[in-house]
């Protein structure tokens, strides 16, 4: 019998876990799992609990949004052992779940967490911290942690998009030197993002032709140069939605490591949360760092 720790963020999804907890627990029971339930009270609890309990369970299953998943992964990265990881998405965008093919319905997701197949998942190191799917600065990046929570609940993904669009006339560009495996770029950028996901901010979807894999040891680094005029923002957005990443303003590179050097401290976001301000950032892909459970057919 597998020992499972169900780690719940009670604030995610307006506490929606309550509506499905009984069915979720039944799915684990039917899969032959013994379940212990733990709750987080505040930010920072998930990594502490995951790190402390990693050696006591065969599987840790987190219930919450991308931030909860990110915190749980952080805890596992600092633990002496890394049990299998399950994810029941209860957030607003659930980018990681979309990438992995994990259903957004927690009852369906619990079937994968209870009896799915484990797949290797790369984790990003951001200086001395970790992230699961994106580290970024610039346009749209502050939206995820500055948009009021009530707007997120009421509008979902649209809240991010609307808040982001409202900031477009006031875009700030930052000079950056970007050093990666195969070269160096220097320019003024309105966005720089290091990603390991098919979905970023819920509305930029990377197609199969981009060749995104969560276990290939490589990041997709998206760079958007400062446009000459705000009138160019529309065409840039069109290129992004069409997955055109080799244009005058939009570039995507694949690399295992990338270093950003900036002229002044810049605010970053890590998996939708505040990542602090930095003059220099080094990101490294840690291949197959954790094993995450997905549906058999995902």
- DSSP codes of every residue in 120-181: EEEEEEETTEEESSEEEEETTTTHHHHS-HHHHHHHTHHHHHHHHHHHGGG---EEEEEEET
SS3 state at 96: helix
Kindly provide the b/e burial profile for residues 243-263, where b requires at least 16 CB atoms within 10 angstroms of the residue's own CB: eebeeebbbbbbbbebebebe
Place 114 in a pLDDT band, splitting at 50, 70 and 90: very high
The structure's pTM equals: 0.87
Mean of pLDDT values over 100-115: 94
- Please tell me the predicted confidence (pLDDT) of residue 202: 57
Selection from 118, 116, 167 nearest residue 141 by Cα = 167
Q: Pick the range with the lowest mean pLDDT from 43-57, 223-237, 281-295.
A: 223-237
What pLDDT does 35 receive? 97
Question: 8-17, 113-122, 189-198: which has the highest mean pLDDT?
Answer: 113-122
Determine which of 15-19, 29-33, 39-43 has the lowest per-residue pLDDT on average. Answer: 15-19
Q: Of 16-25, 77-86, 120-129, 135-144, give the lowest mean pLDDT range.
A: 135-144
Q: What pLDDT, in 10s, does the model give residues 36-86?
A: 999 999 989 999 999 999 999 999 999 998 889 999 999 999 998 999 999
3-state class (DSSP) for residue 103:
coil
Largest CA distance in the chain: 61
The answer to whether 279 and 264 have CB atoms below 8 angstroms apart is yes
Mean pLDDT of the residues in the chain: 88
Q: Is pLDDT at 87 greater than 60 in this prediction?
A: yes
Cα separation of 177 and 13, whole Å? 39
Q: What mean pLDDT comes out for the span 127-156?
A: 69
pLDDT at position 157, please? 47
For residue 270, give the nearest of 150, 79, 95, 151 by alpha carbon.
95
Cα 50 from Cα 17, distance rounded (Å): 19
Angle (deg, nearest 10), helices 17-30 and 106-115: 30
Backbone angles phi, psi at 166, to 5 degrees: -65, -20
Q: Which two tokens stand for residue 267?
A: 């605010």
Give the rounded percent of residues in the chain with a pLDDT score beyond 90: 65
Whether the per-residue pLDDT at 159 is higher than 50: the answer is no
Say if residues 87 and 109 touch (Cβ distance below 8 Å). yes
Domain spans of the chain, in order of start: 2-122+289-294, 130-286
152 compared with 250, residue with greater pLDDT = 250
H/E stretch holding 119 reads: strand 117-126
Task: Give the DSSP per-residue string, 21-58.
Answer: HHHHHHHHHHTTEEEEEEE--STTHHHHHHHHHGGG-S
- pLDDT-derived band of residue 148, with 50, 70 and 90 as boundaries? low
In this prediction, residue 53 carries a pLDDT of 97
How far apart CA 236 and CA 240 sit, in angstroms, is 6
Cα angle at 38 between 45 and 4, to 5 degrees?
115
Give pLDDT tens digits for 184-225. Answer: 999 999 999 999 998 765 567 888 888 889 999 999 999 999
pLDDT at residue 172, as a whole number: 82
Q: Which fold has domain 2-122+289-294?
A: Rossmann fold (3.40.50)
Mean pLDDT of 81-101: 89
User: Which CATH number is 130-286 given?
Assistant: 2.60.200.40
What was the pLDDT predicted at 210?
86
Query: Of the given ranges (29-38, 88-97, 134-143, 287-296), which has the lowest mean pLDDT?
Result: 134-143
């Amino acid at each position: 019998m597998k020992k499972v720790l169900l780690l719940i963020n009670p604030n995610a999804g307006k506490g929606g876990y309550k509506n499905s907890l009984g069915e979720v627990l039944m799915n684990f029971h039917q899969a032959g799992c013994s379940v212990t339930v733990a709750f987080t009270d505040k930010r920072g609890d998930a990594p502490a609990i995951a790190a402390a309990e990693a050696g006591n369970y065969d599987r840790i299953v987190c219930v919450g949004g991308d931030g909860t998943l990110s915190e749980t992964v952080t805890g596992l990265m600092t633990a002496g052992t890394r049990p299998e990881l399950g994810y029941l998405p209860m957030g607003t965008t659930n980018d990681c779940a979309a990438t992995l093919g994990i259903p957004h319905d927690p009852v369906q997701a619990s079937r994968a967490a209870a009896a799915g197949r484990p797949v290797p998942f790369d984790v990003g190191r951001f200086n001395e911290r970790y992230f699961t799917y994106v580290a970024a600065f610039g346009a749209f990046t502050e939206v995820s942690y500055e948009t009021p929570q009530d707007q997120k609940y009421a509008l979902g993904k649209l809240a991010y998009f609307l808040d982001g669009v409202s900031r477009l006339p006031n875009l700030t560009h930052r000079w950056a030197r970007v050093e990666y495996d195969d070269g160096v770029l220097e320019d003024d950028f309105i966005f720089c993002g290091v990603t390991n996901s098919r979905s970023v901010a819920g509305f930029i979807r990377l197609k199969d032709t981009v060749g995104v894999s969560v276990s290939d040891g490589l990041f997709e680094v998206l760079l958007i140069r400062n446009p000459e005029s705000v009138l160019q923002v529309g065409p840039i957005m069109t290129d992004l939605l069409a997955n055109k990443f080799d244009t005058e303003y939009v570039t995507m590179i694949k690399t295992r490591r990338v270093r950003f050097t900036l002229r002044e401290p810049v605010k970053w976001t890590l998996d939708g949360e505040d990542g602090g301000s930095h003059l220099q950032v080094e990101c490294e892909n840690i291949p197959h760092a954790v094993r995450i459970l997905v549906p058999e057919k995902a």
